[in-house]
Amino acid sequence: MTLKLLSLAVAAGIGLAVFGAGQARAVGCVSGGAAGAVAGHYAGHHAVLGAIGGCIAGHEIAKHRAERAREMQQTHEMKGERSL
């Protein structure tokens, strides 16, 4: 019972930190955290650790995708300027 209460408190704290940080910082964290929680649960009842790891991984993946999209946009704009 105490472990469930502790897990709930940690999950609530993570949720508040994620949603309190603002949308720009939480990109990828919610979906990664959900996937990590499921994976952690099936890998030995470590849902909270999985959620934390998934949040970090999801955020990093979203950051790299945004960087690639920004680079593609800049490349596209540069090609458009040359054709004029």
pLDDT at position 75, please?
A: 86
The answer to whether the predicted template modeling score (pTM) of the entire model surpasses 0.75 is: no
For residue 38, give the DSSP letter.
Answer: H
pLDDT tens for 9-38 read 667 666 656 655 555 567 788 888 888 899
Distances (CA, A) of 20 to 16, 41, 63: 5, 25, 19
pLDDT-derived band at 71, boundaries 50, 70, 90? very high
Query: Where do we find the tokens 């300027």?
Result: 81
Task: Using alpha carbons only, give the angle 60, 3, 59 rounded to the nearest 5 degrees.
Answer: 5
User: What is the rounded CA–CA span in Å between residue 83 and residue 54?
Assistant: 43
Domain boundaries defined on the chain: 28-84
